[in-house]
Chains A and B, each alone.
Chain A
Amino acid sequence: MRIDWDSYKEITESLARNKSRTLLTGFGIFWGLFMLLFLVGGSRGLEKILANNFSGFATNSTIIFANRTTKPYRGHGERRRWDLDLKDIDRLSMMIPEMEVVTPLLSAWNQTAEYDEHSQDCYIKGIYPEYASIEEPMLKYGRYLNESDCIQERKVCVIGRRIYNTLFPDGGNPCGTFIRIGPVFYQIVGVDISSGNISINGNMSRTALVPMPVVQKLYRGGSRVDLIAMTGKKGVKMSSLDDRIRQIVAREHKFDPTDKPALGLVNTEQLFGIVDNLFLGLNILVLLIGLGTILAGAIGVSNIMMVTVKERTTEIGIRRAIGATPRQILGQIIMESVTLTLAAGSLGIVFSVLLLEGLEKITSNSEFGAAPFQIGFWTAIAAAAGLAVMGVLAGLAPAIRAMRIKPVDAMRDE
């Protein structure tokens, strides 16, 4: 079948003859495609929003913290308090060679940061520089804490976004400025604007990072730490080290290694695994719903084309009598089907793209951070190509029926 003005005219003529039917049929396809693309874009955006929450956080890490014991062990009763301490760090990194980084965290809660007349609630987190590989900083100004800060116990800090925004509403580089947190003045050395919502002992945006020894001496005393965070070397699954970590810590702190609640252990790898699975499931669901809707639309098109062919038996018979080959009839019916699906589907694509664009605009100003809801260019192209194929398939059965119409049959019943 030649594609030219005439073929085009033939197609539009027959589609335009029953406008409401064409519209309703097209709507099925339109809605199907709109649903599919909108859901695909939506779930992607949602995934990205969630990923934003995790952003900068090491995906293959384990965090441990002390709880009360729940089993009696070697003369100790249950419900005994114990603490992780700095020695555990050396122990763990020495006895488990697969460890890349083992680093502690010590917090001071309920602090207030002040500068000029501005003040902001905040947390102090005492860390070593290695902590950067657990919660990756995104520095807007200055630098991260370094080795010298810790050795010399400098009263310096890296502040989070919220603190920076409140204390320095006019913006600008605050490095070198002294702010007061509680009774102590700290010099700002960096601003970390990372937006991840995973928080260990407080969200980064309201945190002032301070060298570990400073926190130890000023706020907590002793060698105990709140958390120990660990990441494994390349290729090491952190979850496979769980048992060994428990064994080592339990032996040292004299609690039953099988006493799971005594040692809090969070494995981000498992956490991310759960989220990944969740989104895998969501994506499959989206695909099922979207494709199902489109399929229903396509079946609708096929059905309507079937009715159309039946109605046009005489017309097709006349065409055959005056010399149309079966192939030309086949081509015409299929082209009608493809035109209908493509036109309606393209509208669906355009509509979903517009709506996703709107969603993107809305979320770009929200606290979740910008999320790319928009479907990709090639996704749209693939959708259009898929539509064309679907149009052909939908038109196939009716077209074959039309092709089988014999001129004699068509003109007999008058």
Chain B
Amino acid sequence: MIIELKDVNKTYFGAQPLHVLKGINLSIEEGEFVSIMGASGSGKSTLLNILGILDNYDTGEYWLAGKLIKDLTEKQAADYRNRMIGFVFQSFNLIGFKTAVENVELPLFYQGVPRRKRHTMAMEFLDRLGLKDWAGHYPNEMSGGQKQRVAIARALITNPRIILADEPTGALDSKTSEEVMALLAELNREEKVTIIVVTHESGVANCTNKIVHIKDGVIGEIEENQLHNASVLGAGSIMK
């Protein structure tokens, strides 16, 4: 069990307190390819932030690879993020003034890996994702699909236990979306990386092997989707 959430609650205290996560229980096994699906405001992004140790939760327990993630110092959190989790974002979040290869190197820089080794590794990962020729280019010289592949390379380079993808296809057209999802599926199949995709598109969710529906801060149906036959339009899925 790589991820285990036990009765996790999260409330945003603003002018009007917002109870976003209402007792989430979720287990994800190592090597799974899961999507968390819900409409906007369902709490799926908050859940992802908690899974990625980018945000705290109020009550409950979050176990990541056998470690209780609670009351971590910033340094510990940074270290876990760096070594255990790879992030893929909707808007890629590449650093604009760094080339593709420098962006991919960055997590290793913070691990203190020597420059030469870092560079070799980054080139290797870019090569695997078919971006070797683009290594010296800046993000604004690349297409959306290429940028997302650079981001995936950056997520993979630390050899993390899980990859968290937040709407990874949100800014891509349908063809590139399919390519990116295929890439994630391939990584899951061949590298046995645990991948969690957060999305509101049922088509994207359908590419994963398991769909976790979330609505109003509560986990609904958990759909096994090994055959990828949940309707592309999401008509067959019941959201509670």
Contacts and interface: CB of A to CB of B under 8 A. Distances in A.
A323 B93 contact: no
Contacts of A323: 78-79, 81-83, 107, 110-111, 158
A14 B97 CA distance: 9
Contacts of B49: 408
A414 to B, nearest CB: 5
Given A325-B74, A406-B54, A411-B89, A13 B107 contact: no
Interface in A277-334: 314-315, 317-328
Given A318-B95, A411-B93, A325 B110 contact: yes
Nearest to A327: B75
Contacts of A328: 110
A299 to B, nearest CB: 27
A411 B55 CA distance: 12
A6 interface: yes
A17 interface: yes
B82 A322 contact: yes
Contacts, number: 64
Nearest to B81: A323
Interface string A29-53: 0000000000000000000000000
B154 interface: yes
Which of B78, B79, B90, B112 has the most chain A CB within a 10 Å cutoff? B78
Q: How many of chain A's residues touch chain B, expressed as a range?
A: 20 to 34
Most interface-central of A318, A320, A323 (chain B CB within 10 A): A323
A6 B82 CA distance: 18
B51 to A, nearest CB: 12
Contact of B78 (A5, A317, A320, A414): A320
Contacts of A5: 115
A321 B81 contact: yes
Given A321-B54, A322-B106, A17 B83 contact: no
A19 B87 CA distance: 32
Interface string A168-195: 0000000000000000000000000000
B119 to A, nearest CB: 11
Given A5-B115, A319-B106, A408-B49, A326 B91 contact: no
A326 B74 contact: yes
A322 B81 contact: yes
A2 B112 contact: yes
A395 B234 CA distance: 52
A266 to B, nearest CB: 72
A319 B78 CA distance: 10
Contacts of B158: 323
B52 interface: yes
A407 interface: yes
A327 B49 CA distance: 22
Nearest to B91: A414
Chain A contact residues, majority secondary structure:
helix
Contact of A326 (B55, B75, B98): B75
A124 B35 CA distance: 110
A322 B74 contact: no
Given A5-B115, A406-B54, A408-B55, A325 B78 contact: yes
A132 B87 CA distance: 88
Nearest to B171: A414
Interface string B63-98: 000000000001100110111000101110111111
A186 B54 CA distance: 99
Contacts of A406: 54-55
Contacts of A4: 115
A211 B78 CA distance: 91
A314 B75 CA distance: 19
Contact of A322 (B97, B98, B110): B110
Contacts of A318: 93-95
Nearest to A328: B110
Interface in B133-180: 154, 158
A17 B97 contact: yes
Contacts of A407: 54
Nearest to B114: A4
Contacts of A319: 95, 106, 110
A406 B109 CA distance: 20
Contacts of B81: 321-323
B110 A324 contact: yes
Contacts of B54: 321, 406-408
B115 A321 contact: no
A174 B90 CA distance: 96
Contact of A324 (B78, B91, B93, B96): B78
Interface string A2-18: 10111000000110010
Nearest to B49: A408
B109 to A, nearest CB: 6
A399 to B, nearest CB: 14
A14 B95 CA distance: 11
Contacts of B154: 322
B21 to A, nearest CB: 14
A324 B93 CA distance: 15
A408 to B, nearest CB: 5
B79 A325 contact: yes
Contacts of B112: 2
Nearest to B50: A408
Contacts of A17: 97
Nearest to B75: A325
Interface of B: 49, 52, 54-55, 74-75, 78-79, 81-83, 87, 89-91, 93-98, 106-107, 109-112, 115, 154, 158
Given A14-B97, A315-B95, A328-B110, 4 more contacts: A6-B115, A318-B94, A321-B87, A326-B74
7 contacts: A13-B98, A318-B95, A319-B110, A321-B81, A324-B110, A407-B54, A411-B89
Q: Which 9 A-B pairs have the closest CB atoms?
A: A323-B82, A325-B78, A322-B107, A323-B110, A326-B74, A318-B93, A325-B75, A407-B54, A408-B54
